[in-house]
Amino acid sequence: MAENTGVVFLGRNKVEVQSIDFPKMQNPAGKKINHGVILKVVSTNICGSDQHMVRGRTTAPTGMVLGHEITGEIIEAGSDVEYLKSGDLVTVPFNVACGRCITCREQQTGVCLNVNPGRAGGAYGYVDMGGWVGGQAEYVLVPYADFNLIKFPDKQQAMAKIKDLTMLSDILPTGFHGAVTAGVGVGSIVYVAGAGPVGLAAAASAQILGAAVVMIGDMIPERLKHAESVGFTPIDLTKSDNLGELIAAVVGKPEVDAAIDAVGFEARAQGKDGQEAPATVLNSLMSIVRAAGGIGIPGLYVTEDPGAADDAGKTGNLKMRFGLGWAKSHRFYTGQTPVLKHNRQLMQAILHDRLPIAKIVGATVIPLSQAADGYKAFDSGAAKKFVLDPHGLLA
């Protein structure tokens, strides 16, 4: 039996690289499948969504192999795989999707109906997402391969841009989806909440979509400094508890055309205290988005949060001022990003030098063996996107 190692969740604030099973051609229920491939993982990233689990803010069980941002080389293909072969270098959407159900047919692959018996939507290495083994590992199984995977057209070219292309599995399409669903277009005034990797990807997406001004708010000085260095207007949320005032100081009025929530449920209130307030981002965005404007919400919100400060938060209930958004005819768009809707055109933007996303999000390559250190640094607010290199191919 071939060997494999992966990043395993061992409890609150603890992950460890351990020996894990080599992937088999079977689904989480143990049923043999022929539509999958086994990948040698070329790159796999640490995501903010992973951090929610590691902080103990979900019901994730110990022993889970983490990781849903995967790029890899096919080393084995099932007998039903027709259009991919061993040796192909592919990008893997974080959504596990069957390609057959009504939502997949509508390109809503984030809520596939057939890959998770518990609810709509599946993902690798994530709580309540169907039990699919994560890809922060040396090798991983990808099901429904013909539908889910995109082969890079030129392997050598792709490896030369691998630090950019590794972002196609999640954060770049997620940021792009947030910008598109918020209605960003030519000349838009845009505000992005959160200067982490998804927020930076959303800001970059707003720019490529034609925004005139892209502001990005955060409370961590290192992240704000990095956001400014890559071309965005930083908004220091510790300076005031009134977001409108901070926006007006940049564009002359406390109003934007579109806003993107790249923070999610672990948000903190503006001002120097910064106490946790799960609905604070949504409420502040409704206050600044103009009438008939849009709010894209790629930031994660959960149905169960055992670490919430109150009973309402433990079941995903938020104290939202929804009446304000209703009165202003706001558009809200939530949910997991359907990566397949966006990743092909974003791949082309990367390959043709239109979107240097690795630089924008601070891509930093580390060996798989140093994953625990990467988690700690990312959790402390480092202005970096950690890319794990299981086989030393990215050096």
Contacts of 224 (CB under 8 A, 6+ apart): 195, 216, 218, 234, 235, 236
Predicted local confidence at residue 270, as pLDDT: 78
Q: Do 207 and 238 fall into the same domain?
A: yes
Task: Assess whether 182 and 288 both reside in one domain.
Answer: yes
Q: What is the reported pLDDT for 313?
A: 85
Residue 112 covered by a domain: yes
Domain that holds residue 271: 171-334
| Kind plus residue range of the DSSP H or E element containing 41 | strand 37-45
Q: Check whether residue 189 and residue 325 sit in a common domain.
A: yes
Residue 395 belongs to a domain? no
In terms of domains, do 211 and 273 share one? Answer: yes
Q: Is the Cβ–Cβ distance between 294 and 185 less than 8 Å?
A: no
One domain, residues 148 and 81: yes
d(CA 152, CA 131) in angstroms, rounded, equals: 28
* CATH number of the domain to which 316 belongs: 3.40.50.720
What span, in angstroms and rounded, lies between the C-alpha atoms of 255 and 246?
10
**Whether residue 93 is found in the same domain as residue 160:** yes
With residues binned 3-state (H G I as helix, E B as strand, rest as coil), the percentages for the chain, rounded to 5, are 30, 25, 45
Considering the domain boundaries, does residue 88 fall inside one?
Answer: yes
pLDDT of residue 87: 98
374 and 292 fall within a common domain:
no
What pLDDT, on a 0 to 100 scale, did the predictor assign at position 272?
65
Find all residues with CB under 8 Å of 310, minimum gap 6, and list them.
none
- Whole-number pLDDT of residue 27: 98
Say how many domains are in the chain.
Answer: 2
Q: Are residues 314 and 373 in the same domain?
A: no
**Residue 305's pLDDT is what?**
87
Q: Quick check: is 394 in a domain?
A: no
Instruction: Answer yes or no: do 106 and 195 share one domain.
Output: no
Same domain, yes or no: 186 and 124: no
Question: Are both 102 and 13 inside the same structural domain?
Answer: yes
- In a domain, residue 274? The reply is yes
Element (H, E) at 174: helix 171-181
The answer as to whether 229 is a domain residue is yes
Query: Is residue 344 situated within a structural domain?
Result: yes
Q: Average pLDDT for consecutive 10-residue bins of the chain (395 residues)?
A: 91 96 98 98 96 93 97 98 98 98 98 97 97 98 98 97 98 98 98 97 98 97 98 97 97 98 89 79 97 96 86 88 97 97 98 98 98 95 96 92
Same domain, 202 and 292: yes
CATH number at residue 86: 3.90.180.10
Q: How many residues does the chain have?
A: 395
Q: What are phi and psi of 74, to 5 degrees?
A: -70, 130
pLDDT, position 1: 53
